[in-house]
Amino acid sequence: MRTILISLQIFLMPLWTFAQRPTSVPYDDRPLNVFESVESIIFYIVIPLAIIVLYVIWRIRRKNERKASDSLQKSENTSAEKNSTMNNKHLVSIRSIDHVTHDTLRVVTEKPGGYTFTPGQATDIAINKNGWQNERRPFTFTSLPGDPYLEFIIKTYPEHDGATDKLLDVKAGDELILHEVFGAITYRGEGVFIAGGAGITPFISIFRDLKNRNKIGNNFLVYANKTTADIILKEDLEDLLSDSVVHILSEEETDEYEYGLITEDFLKDFIDGDDQYFYLCGPPPMMDAVESQLSDLGVAKDKMVKEAW
Ligand SMILES: Cc1cc2nc3c(=O)[nH]c(=O)nc-3n(C[C@H](O)[C@H](O)[C@H](O)COP(=O)(O)OP(=O)(O)OC[C@H]3O[C@@H](n4cnc5c(N)ncnc54)[C@H](O)[C@@H]3O)c2cc1C
């Protein structure tokens, strides 16, 4: 309808122009013959035709431009969807990244919609920078499942020249690629948590969850590090567990903390009946040693919940 009206207008315009033109030719009764002069051919045929052709060209060009912008929009939408969820991979932007100790970072990222985990679980993370997208490393969530963000506490190893070293160059606004959630450590019941170094991370989320639910109860933490400077989130742990924390340092003697490595003798003070669980997380040599000490102290295998790094 719009096109018909516009076409009519196009035809009427030259007619009107023609009627307005100054003319010296006197009016006569002869029927109008558009071919009688070059002037009338131009006004009645050439100009309307030219206007119609120009109008049609303009319409076609507009249609093509719209098509192109629609398909561009579609492809942008598809690639945005692909970016945020790529076959169980999630691209997330880093909100903040700071040191919590001399070699450990706290990384806070956006949380993808519908992404969920149980306290103690982990995911593989890669840095979304050229050459690093396929370098996946496992890290544990330290935030709570209900938090609107994700938090990771990550110990860096510059000597590995690997992903954790690269993380030292990463800034807020850069992106990480998260994968599926997995993990062996989940809370089963009250017990003793034994962590070495960055092995504290699954316990942080578990303690935060228990504290939130007023269920810290008789849980106890034994936290082994080399020196005081290596203790991760010391104040947070004290807030969560009050006095139910023992720190043991292997390379620094202090008045405040235990000194040395974890031994059977050290552990025997924590054994309290058959119902308690022992949660272990840390470097493999420490895990092997503690596991065999606990076995010697009579702790059943099914009461040990562990994850070796
Ligand atoms: C389920 C799970 C959850 C984890 N969660 C966390 C967490 O929340 N926070 C955290 O900090 N860590 C966590 N870790 C450990 C973490 O994944 C590793 O520390 C990390 O992958 C190391 O990455 P990288 O790129 O620095 O080293 P990589 O290049 O991946 O090196 C890995 C291994 O290579 C060897 N290696 C390489 N170079 C050297 C070198 N120069 N000297 C000695 N050894 C070397 C070491 O054996 C080292 O462990 C977790 C591990 C597991 C399995």
Q: Which residue among 102, 125, 164, 230 has the greatest number of ligand 1 atoms within 8 angstroms of its CB, and so is best to mutate?
A: 164
Question: Which residue has the least CA distance to atom 13 on ligand 1?
Answer: 139
Distance CA 108, CA 172 (A): 9
- pLDDT tens readout for residues 208-244: 999 999 999 999 999 999 999 999 999 999 999 999 9
**Pick from 276, 228, 225, 236: nearest CA to 256:** 228
CATH level 2 (architecture), domain 87-182: Beta Barrel (2.40)
Question: Which residue has the least CA distance to atom 30 on ligand 1?
Answer: 162
At 214, list the tokens.
């007023």
Question: Which residue has the least CA distance to atom 2 on ligand 1?
Answer: 138
**According to the CATH classification, is domain 191-308 in 3.40.50.80?**
yes
Q: What letters, b where the CB count within 10 A reaches 16 and e where it falls short, cover 13-40?
A: ebeeebeeeeeeeeeeeeeeeeeeeeee
- pLDDT tens readout for residues 20-37: 555 555 555 666 677 777
Question: Which residue has the least CA distance to atom 46 on ligand 1?
Answer: 160
Whole-number Å distance, alpha carbon 54 to ligand 1 midpoint, is 68
In the chain, where are the structural domains located?
2-20+31-84, 87-182, 191-308
Pocket of ligand 1 (CB under 6 A): 122, 137-140, 152-155, 157, 159-160, 162-165, 183, 198, 201, 307, 309
221, 244 contact by CB (below 8 A):
yes
Predicted TM-score (pTM) of this structure: 0.75
**Pick from 196, 132, 195: nearest CA to 164:** 132
Please report the atom of ligand 1 found closest to the CA of residue 166.
25
Could you tell me the pLDDT band of residue 77, with boundaries at 50, 70 and 90? very low
Segment among 51-60, 125-134, 155-164, 286-295 with least mean pLDDT: 51-60
> What phi and psi values does residue 227 have, to the nearest 5 degrees?
-135, 170
The per-residue pLDDT for 61 is 83
Q: What average pLDDT does this structure show over 159-173?
A: 97
Same fold for the pair 87-182 and 191-308: no
